[in-house]
Chains A and B, each alone.
Chain A
Amino acid sequence: MSYLAAHPWSVIALLLQHLLIVASGLALSVAIAVPLGILVNTLRVLELPIMLVTGLMYLVPSLALFAFLIPFTGLGTKTAIVAQVVYSLLVIVRNTFAGLSAVPNAIREAATGNGLTAAQRLWLVELPMALPVIVGGVRVAAVMGVGIASIAAYVGAGGLGTLVFRGIATVDSDLILAGTLPIVALALSIDATLRFAESRLSA
């Protein structure tokens, strides 16, 4: 723990960098995956191909995914963010679709009967009702993102993984702990925060 005590600010700087990578990856994932989930819900024929492709991407181990991405995105933060999006697609698309398709038909018909257009119904009725399930997907994606960003330090993305890899390379347990403990804390607190949001939304 002495590295953490001696250099608190450099660990905090890496933590913030880590958080920034996770947040950008997550924002991009939501921006792509939620519309995709809505698309799957309206055009059900797309369910099989989209789930198959995102499911296949989800299966690829992260280090292998980095290997596939590096020739295109190079070394650095870009690879970390793209990898995060690739993994997050499955969970967020699946949860968006599941949340939307769980809206009872009676409610959908009542909305239509009240004169709402399809877009208004989606925005005012269906999405709010599906929100807890969507947030559940975002939570899984965010926790996964913390892990992916850690590994991405190896390909030059920065963040807390830097300490872990430097520690492994120099067999310095102190440095490894200074990286892993904040990573674990970050993952657990993001998980707890979004779980709380989930329960508040579904109440």
Chain B
Amino acid sequence: MAALDFILSNQQLVARLLLQHIVLTSCALAIAGTIGIAAGIAGARIPRFGSLALAITNVGQSIPSIALIGLVVPLIGIGFWPALMALAVRGVLPIYMNTYLGLAGVPAATREAAVGNGLSNGEILIWVEIPISAPIIMAGIRTAAVEGVAIATLAAFIGGGGLGDLILQGIAMMDPARLMGGALPVAALAIFAELTFGGLELILRRAFSV
């Protein structure tokens, strides 16, 4: 296959772009996870903020990711950091949504039982609410990760690097081997992200099933 030949004869290039792609996606995921989970916890505590943020999240998720990539350029220019920002903003949405909905879905009786057992608010969050909603939160992280791999491909449009570079070069040069040489690892990475985080979700579900 031409694509495999391309990858084998350009191992260093493909490895470097793959690494860039992974770094971009995981940095964005780390930022999005921190902000999304923190905001989700705040949202579950402050209902007015929580439901407003949920509405914003719903609207935000309808915005095409390429529009987001385009919008960061007038704001902060091109390169790695603008791409990271677009990815992180996008990733916050599903993580916030799932954290908020997961925490809000903890039965009131469970929370009251914890209060009755003398747990403080912070203890309830750490020992009761987060474990119960952990699989749902992980599902949000999974969505953010898989979308992140896809949006990181679009980062190539604004000079953010990653495997999208090969695809864009392949389109420009009408070189199917280069095109596929970029597309195959990207598709594999997306499937890998889905399986990894889907697996974690399953483990959490088993571990914390009540």
Task: Please tell me if B91 contacts chain A, counting CB pairs below 8 Å.
Answer: no
Q: Report yes or no: B62 in contact with A177, Cβ–Cβ below 8 A.
A: no
Binds A, one of B30-38, B109-117, B127-135, B147-155: B147-155
Counting CB contacts under 8 A, is A157 at the interface? no
Q: How far is the CB of B192 from the nearest CB of chain A, in Å? A: 10
- A67 close to B183 (CB less than 8 A): yes
**Closest Cβ–Cβ distance, residue A76 to chain B (whole Å):** 12
Asked if B154 and A184 sit within 8 Å, CB to CB, the answer is no
Q: A155-B171, A173-B73 are in contact. Are A59 and B67 (CB under 8 A)?
A: no
Taking the complex as formed, is A124 at the interface, i.e. its CB lies under 8 A from any CB of chain B?
no
CB of A70 within 8 A of CB of B164, answer: no
Inter-chain CA distance A150–B151, complex, in Å, is: 13
Given A167-B70, A176-B70, A177-B74, A62 and B150 contact (CB-CB distance below 8 Å): yes
Bound-complex Cα distance A75 to B182 (A): 18
Per-residue interface assignment for chain B, residues 173 to 184, with 1 indicating a CB less than 8 Å from any chain A CB and 0 otherwise: 000100110111
B 64-76 binary contact with A (CB < 8 Å = 1; else 0): 1111001101100
A-B contact count (CB 8 A): 111
Q: B158 interface residue, CB < 8 Å from A?
A: yes
* CB–CB B176/A61 < 8 A: no
- Min CB distance B90 to A, Å, is 11
Residues of B contacting A188 in the complex (Cβ-Cβ under 8 angstroms): 59, 62-63
A residues within 8 A CB of B179? Answer: 67, 70-71
Q: Output the nearest chain B residue to A161 by Cβ-Cβ distance.
A: B66
Q: Once the chains bind, are B70 and A164 in contact (CB under 8 Å)?
A: yes
| Contact call A150/B153, Cβ cutoff below 8 A | no
Residue of A nearest to B164 (CB): A63
Answer yes or no: A171 CB below 8 A from chain B CBs. Answer: yes
> Once the chains are docked, how many angstroms separate the CA of A161 from the CA of B182?
22
- Determine the chain B residues whose CB is within 8 A of the CB of A70 once the complex forms: 171, 176, 179
Does A164 lie within 8 Å of B149, measured CB to CB? no
Task: Report the interface size class on chain B.
Answer: 35 or more
Bound CA span A75–B174, Å: 10
A53 at interface by CB-CB < 8 Å: no
B42 at interface, CB cutoff 8 A? no
Number of interface residues of A (CB under 8 A): 37
Which residues from chain A contact B184 at a C-beta distance below 8 Å?
64
Distance from A2 Cβ to chain B, minimum over Cβ atoms (Å)? 13
The answer to whether A173 touches B153 (Cβ under 8 A) is: no
In the complex, the chain A residue whose C-beta lies closest to that of B75 is A173
B56 to chain A, nearest CB (A): 12
Q: Check if A165 is an interface residue, CB within 8 A of chain B.
A: yes
- The reply to whether A176 and B62 form a contact with Cβ atoms under 8 Å apart is no
Distance from A62 Cβ to chain B, minimum over Cβ atoms (Å): 6
Q: How far is the CB of B123 from chain A (nearest CB, A)?
A: 39
Name the residue among B66, B67, B73, B157 with the largest chain A CB count within 10 angstroms. Answer: B66
Residue in A closest to B158 when the chains form the complex, CB atoms:
A168
> A61-B187, A64-B183 given as contacts; is B65 within 8 A of A147 (CB)?
yes
30 A-B pairs, CB-CB below 8 angstroms? A59-B187, A60-B190, A61-B149, A62-B150, A63-B153, A63-B154, A63-B167, A63-B186, A64-B186, A66-B171, A67-B182, A67-B183, A68-B183, A70-B171, A146-B64, A147-B64, A147-B66, A147-B67, A150-B64, A168-B70, A168-B158, A171-B78, A173-B74, A176-B70, A180-B67, A184-B63, A187-B67, A188-B59, A188-B62, A191-B62
Task: Identify the B interface with A (CB < 8 A).
Answer: 59, 62-67, 70-71, 73-74, 78, 146, 149-150, 153-154, 156-158, 164, 167-168, 170-171, 176, 179-180, 182-184, 186-187, 190-191, 194
The 10 closest A-B CB pairs, nearest first, are: A147-B64, A61-B150, A173-B74, A67-B183, A64-B183, A180-B70, A64-B186, A180-B67, A63-B153, A67-B179
